[in-house]
Structure 1
Amino acid sequence: MSASESARDALAIAGYRIRDGAAALVERTRSGNLGVLPVVLGLAVIWTIFQILNPVFLSSTNLVNLTLQSAAIGTITLGVVIVLLVGEIDLSVGSVSGLASAVLAVSLVQSRWPLILAVVAGVLAGTAAGLLYGFLYTRFGIPSFVITLAGLLGILGVQLWVLGESGSINLPFDSWLVVFAQQMFLPAWASYVVIVLAVAANAVAHLRTARRRERANLTYQSTRAIVLRALALLGGLGVAAWYLNLSRGVGLSFLFFVGLVVIADFALTRTRWGRAVYAVGGSVEAARRAGIRVDRIYVSAFVLCSTLAATGGILAAARLAAVNQSSGAADTNLNAIAAAVIGGASLFGGRGTAWAALLGILVIQSISSGLTLLNLDSSVRFIVTGAVLVLAVIIDSTSRKSRAAHGRN
């Protein structure tokens, strides 16, 4: 066979693969399985528009600030994603985060507790709220909307009581927690090492999954596809780290948030508990008949949501080095819930991933950062965020209907 014929064959094979890939994409779109595609495309559009309007937007300095701003609300959003997966909602995550920050400040500054004990006390305050929600929901059947709305008001009152007459407490700037949230960054070489290890672990996990599926005579990804995907991921993350390292680098608080996302993703996709969460969100009755302890899953979801909200509140307090009566208030609730839905978590339950928290909060913070750079009023930010949220819900609802129609066919 001549070189020209070999080249023609290679081009033909590549063409077939592109055609098959395009056909598969069209089929997934028709069936409503869009995955993260709408979020990624939306984020690309948002970044392009703001970069055109203000060239500073995609500077490494601004992107570093954006990641740091995403850590606290992103952690709260992760908890919202988990509770949405079981088909419920938590409207009190902002108040819980504010209470946790108040407990931290009073314990650390006024009561002179060691930092670790003050942090644990703040987190446990959130855990207690989640346990209460879970008990009320499973014992009395009160809708989560009502329980958490009452919690929003009640916990806000507790926060004000904990802060006392002063209403505002400054955290020591030399505290390790404040330094962690504001000034700690990975060295450039360490960021590349973390990326290599993360990509390698991801590839190994996919290879093991492929081997298990092959032994069970199920469809599986080829080794070549997994390797190519890993190389693409390695390249993308490497470029992102390099660009952030042109400024201050990768913040440890943002890395902490991403680590929580990875842990949550593993728990949701690789454990019996995670499969039960999706089962309950998909159909409570079917999950119950399958032997799943539905009440325990609901309680665990509420507990994790409130615990992560408390953790996010502590990160927010450390970022600002202060706690006051407005901590956790304003648009914290709205941004966390909006980010979860925009990131791909379904309001109807049973669909979404932990990565929805990361993608969603990047969209929310990108809008906020871009409009701030344009010196536009905060009212515009609320309007734009609301429009994006409605669009995300429309996409979710349309995808759900498409999946239902595709299933009937």
Structure 2
Amino acid sequence: MTATKESVAATDAADERLIRAVSPGDYLRQGWGRIRGGDLGMLPVVLGLVIICAVFYAYEPTFLSSRSLVSMLLYAAPTGIIALGIVVVLLLGEIDLSVGSVSGFCAAVMAVIVVDQGHSLWLGIAAALGVGALIGTAYAVLHVRVGVPSFVFSLAGLLAFEGALLWVLADGSINIPRESGLAQFARNKFLTDAQAYALVAVVVACYLGSRLWTIRRRRAAGLTPPNLLAVLIKAALLGGGLGWLTYYLGIARGWGYLTVLFAALVVVLDLLLRKTRWGRHLFAVGGNEEAARRAGVRVGWTYCSAFVLCSVLAALGGLLAAAQLTSVSQDSGTTDTNLTAIAAAVIGGTSLFGGRGSAYAALLGILVLQSIESGLNLMNVDSDVRYIVTGGVLLLAVTIDSVARRARSSSGRG
């Protein structure tokens, strides 16, 4: 038995496709090799975020104050949740241009049920999310059964649901009471210091436990495990970083419930994409649909789940945005919501060509855009400049993705 494990480990170490980093030097060499091969990951957006923060901080130090960061995180969450759905669809190489109008229409459905008709808040939320799921299902049927391109039916949906929003709110806007549970959750609910530090401890414990479990499983299988020292260092850095951020945000109001919800959705979606069969099928279909079909992947079901999830997340983001504004109007979701959500996903590193990206792309992308907006507002710059800057950043992100894709093809990384 020991000899078998040793031989498996030797094979694992000898096969260059399965080599694991076992020392700091290995990590550095593998990282540099990925960069040279065009596998940039989130490096460009992280560097961009650092540069953006440094520039605005140099102009106005209050840009990185605890109060400013709390506000940025809080108001970035609704659009960030919508961007999560865009990430899922982009992984398939598709697009949904209607997420903004869907978010506004679903928020209007909730407001009519709860405020105008006097039903319970939970019924209104369930109805809005259900409408989002029905819209996603209709999109999937159009794409899978009829063969309509996603650009076409989502553009039609953008116009149709803007019209539906105008019809539902024909009498004007609907105000959401500030004392309602949804408005309180989106605006005024924050973790206490004890709750925040306990959450940090849980996050670090979960990360450390999952990595130790991976080490144990790989050792039992006779494969090279992750380096234990590297795992401990990462856990310490994670705990120290989150702990310091919790302290700094606590100077103002701390972690908002809405921010924590957004972060939790990012983590859950990341786990679903990396650790489940559904996630692997999503990447497979986005990489090569015909190859995935021949491998036994249920391509139609994969498309259906992606479009439904995108529309449901759009509905949820619309509800939370309306709760922050405490109103739903004929302009809800119809301004720059589409632009911001799609730009956040792409700027965060999700490829427009499908098959590459992660849930953290939505988080990083929306932080970049929210940082730009907040910084330009501090500089008293007009909104037209903000649109120009956002468009330039989006173009730069797509250009980097295209160049990296060409480098991956030339290096044989796909």
Q: Which residue of the partner structure matches residue 43 of structure 1?
A: 49
Q: Which residue of the partner structure matches residue 12 of structure 1?
A: none
Give the CA deviation at 1:289: 0.7
Q: Which residue of the partner structure matches residue 11 of structure 2?
A: none
Contact 2:24/2:230 (8 A) holds in 1: no
| In the alignment, structure 1 residue 107 sits paired with structure 2 residue 113 | yes
Q: Which residue of the partner structure matches residue 285 of structure 2?
A: 280
Residues 238-317 of structure 1 aligned to structure 2 (within 5 Å)? 238-317=243-322
| In the alignment, structure 1 residue 354 sits paired with structure 2 residue 348 | no
Which of 64, 78, 90 matches 2:70? 64
Contact 1:99/1:125 (8 A) holds in 2: no
Contact 2:190/2:255 (8 A) holds in 1: yes
Q: 2: distance between equivalents of 1:229 and 1:328?
A: 39
AA at the equivalent of 1:392: A
Give the CA deviation at 1:25: 2.8
Residues 228-243 of structure 1 aligned to structure 2 (within 5 Å)? 228-243=233-248
AA at the equivalent of 1:234: G
The 1:217/1:147 distance shift into structure 2, 3 A limit, reads farther
**Unmatched runs of 5 consecutive residues or more in structure 1:** 1-15
Which of 397, 402, 408 matches 1:397? 402
Q: 2: distance between equivalents of 1:74 and 1:405?
A: 34
Q: Which region of structure 1 is more displaced relative to structure 2, 220-229 or 251-260?
A: 220-229
Give the CA deviation at 1:408: 7.4
Q: 1: distance between equivalents of 2:24 and 2:279?
A: 34
Give the CA deviation at 1:124: 1.1
Q: 2: distance between equivalents of 1:390 and 1:212?
A: 43
The 1:273/1:18 distance shift into structure 2, 3 A limit, reads closer
Which of 311, 320, 340 matches 2:345? 340
Deviation digits for residues 35-58 of structure 1 (CA, Å, limit 9, x no counterpart): 111111110000000000111100
Give the CA deviation at 1:263: 1.1
Contact 2:23/2:227 (8 A) holds in 1: no
Q: Which residue of the partner structure matches residue 381 of structure 1?
A: 386
The 1:267/1:408 distance shift into structure 2, 3 A limit, reads closer
Deviation digits for residues 198-219 of structure 1 (CA, Å, limit 9, x no counterpart): 1211222223234334444555
Which of 140, 144, 151 matches 2:150? 144
Q: Which residue of the partner structure matches residue 7 of structure 1?
A: none
Contact 2:346/2:365 (8 A) holds in 1: yes
**Counterpart secondary structure, 1:56:** helix
Residues 164-175 of structure 1 aligned to structure 2 (within 5 Å)? 164=170, 166-175=171-180
Q: 1: distance between equivalents of 2:211 and 2:346?
A: 27
Q: 2: distance between equivalents of 1:124 and 1:363?
A: 31
Q: 1: distance between equivalents of 2:26 and 2:413?
A: 24
Figure out how many residues of one structure are paired with residues of the other and give that number. Answer: 393
Q: 2: distance between equivalents of 1:210 and 1:384?
A: 45
AA at the equivalent of 2:279: G
AA at the equivalent of 2:40: L
AA at the equivalent of 2:337: T
Which of 202, 211, 223 matches 2:207? 202
Which of 79, 92, 98 matches 2:98? 92
Q: 2: distance between equivalents of 1:53 and 1:343?
A: 25
Contact 1:170/1:323 (8 A) holds in 2: yes
Deviation digits for residues 1-56 of structure 1 (CA, Å, limit 9, x no counterpart): xxxxxxxxxxxxxxx96655443332111111111111111100000000001111
**Unmatched runs of 5 consecutive residues or more in structure 2:** 1-21
The 1:22/1:226 distance shift into structure 2, 3 A limit, reads closer
| In the alignment, structure 1 residue 117 sits paired with structure 2 residue 123 | yes
Q: 2: distance between equivalents of 1:57 and 1:219?
A: 45
Cα RMSD between the aligned structures?
A: 1.5
Q: 1: distance between equivalents of 2:128 and 2:47?
A: 37
**Counterpart secondary structure, 2:174:** strand
**Counterpart secondary structure, 1:97:** helix
The 1:408/1:311 distance shift into structure 2, 3 A limit, reads closer
AA at the equivalent of 2:402: S
AA at the equivalent of 2:372: I
Contact 2:287/2:354 (8 A) holds in 1: yes
**Counterpart secondary structure, 1:353:** coil
AA at the equivalent of 2:247: W
Q: TM-score, normalised by structure 2?
A: 0.92
Give the CA deviation at 1:108: 0.8
Q: 2: distance between equivalents of 1:198 and 1:156?
A: 40
The 1:400/1:213 distance shift into structure 2, 3 A limit, reads farther
* Percent of aligned positions that are identical: 53
AA at the equivalent of 1:97: S
| In the alignment, structure 1 residue 323 sits paired with structure 2 residue 328 | yes
Q: Which residue of the partner structure matches residue 6 of structure 1?
A: none
